[in-house]
Amino acid sequence: MSAEQQAREEQLIERVTASFDGTPDPRLKEIMRALTRHLHAFVRDVRLTEAEWQQAIAFLTATGHLTDDRRQEFILLSDVLGASMQTVTVNNEAYRDATEATVFGPFFVEGSPAIEHGGDIAGGAPGEPCWVEGVVTDTDGKPVPGARIEVWEADDDGFYDVQYGDDRVAARGHLHTGADGAYRFWAIVPTPYPIPHDGPVGKLLDATGRSPMRASHLHFMVEAAGLRTLVTHIFVRGDELLDRDSVFGVRDSLVKDFERQAPGTPTPDGRDLGDRPWTRVRFDIVLAPETRFG
């Protein structure tokens, strides 16, 4: 590259960056100036062609057209690029032995059914019964009573209830920890499933030789006064997709032993499952103090 060409490109960066100098909001000013520098650096680094730029615009346009109140293709794009997971990482600093966070995902729904301790979130969703139990504590090891725990997952066919479009509510619910911080409920054994891949993001994955599959997981969101809200999953040890989860959501600390029980094995709460096998898993949750990150 000639010195003249380099100077032209750098002068443009300075002009665009300076255009945000009068931004009243200092945080917005910081973000837009940094975005300009990084975006121009990318264009210059790969020497982006005009045809490639047009392809990128068409891709983003198609992504916008597919996005609505039931499907967020832009979040999906953020997920497969690891941007969602990096944002989670930046905003959930490591603190002592606090449980690690991971991506929220697009399938959380407000107003899930309340269940009692030992209740079942399945709601008719197909899948093998799974007993989930644990205790919620703070980083000093003190039990957290009354913590609200939201849980949701895909069914055995790899779909969340909202993907069926018939207003069913299944494989989701919420409960509160007891005075000892403990919780327990029935769910279904998580199974792998593909993220929606019939749109622009799916085409991107195909073009780059990547799979849309997510490792088997169960979602948790845990809230308690004075403590940082935790959004996380637990994953099934032994799942062959753990090292290639399509949204990079797996953390080693969140991989748990889902212990399969033979038919006829007594259940913790005396539930009669007949001749069905079932699984159990323990997930102890540690919440970081909210003030540490406020």
pLDDT per position as a tens digit, 258-275? 999 999 999 999 999 999
> In whole angstroms, what is the distance from residue 18 CA to residue 32 CA?
10
Q: Are 183 and 40 within one domain?
A: no
> In whole angstroms, what is the distance from residue 88 CA to residue 187 CA?
26
CA dihedral for 171, 174, 175, 177, sign (positive or negative): positive
Count of structural domains within the chain: 2
Quote the pLDDT of residue 292.
54
Quote the pLDDT of residue 294.
47
In a domain, 54, yes or no: no
In a domain, 61, yes or no: no
Range(s) of the domain holding residue 42: 3-48
Residue 267 near residue 277 (C-beta atoms within 8 A): no
Contacts of 53 (CB under 8 A, 6+ apart): none
The tens digit of pLDDT for each residue in 139-166 reads 999 999 999 999 999 999 999 998 898 8
Specify burial of residue 71 (Cβ count, 10 A radius: 0-12, 13-18, 19+).
middle
Which single residue is written with the structure tokens 């931004």? 23
Please state the pTM of the whole predicted model: 0.91
Residue 245 sits in a domain whose CATH number is 2.60.130.10
Which residues are registered as beta bridge partners of 184? 133
Q: What single-letter DSSP state applies at residue 233?
A: E
Which is it for strands 148-152 and 217-223: parallel, antiparallel or unpaired?
A: antiparallel
Report the candidate in 132, 65, 89 with the shortest Cα–Cα distance to residue 269.
132
Q: Are 22 and 154 within one domain?
A: no
In a domain, 60, yes or no: no
Quote the pLDDT of residue 57.
98
Residue 126 near residue 159 (C-beta atoms within 8 A): no
Q: Are 248 and 135 within one domain?
A: yes
Q: Are 199 and 92 within one domain?
A: yes
Q: Are 135 and 279 within one domain?
A: yes
> In whole angstroms, what is the distance from residue 73 CA to residue 197 CA?
10
Q: Are 24 and 157 within one domain?
A: no
Q: Are 128 and 260 within one domain?
A: yes
For 252, the 3-state DSSP assignment is helix
Q: Are 184 and 248 within one domain?
A: yes
Which single residue is written with the structure tokens 């109140």? 69
In a domain, 69, yes or no: no
Residue 168 near residue 159 (C-beta atoms within 8 A): no
Positions of the chain with pLDDT lower than 50, given as ranges: 294
In a domain, 58, yes or no: no
Q: Are 42 and 85 within one domain?
A: no
In a domain, 74, yes or no: no
> In whole angstroms, what is the distance from residue 103 CA to residue 249 CA?
6
- CA 279 to mean position of chain CA atoms: 23
Quote the pLDDT of residue 291.
72
Q: Are 225 and 109 within one domain?
A: yes
In a domain, 29, yes or no: yes
CA angle, residues 132, 86, 219, in degrees to nearest 5: 15
In a domain, 262, yes or no: yes
> In whole angstroms, what is the distance from residue 145 CA to residue 47 CA?
57
Quote the pLDDT of residue 71.
82
| DSSP notation for 14-32 | HHHHHTTTT-SSHHHHHHH
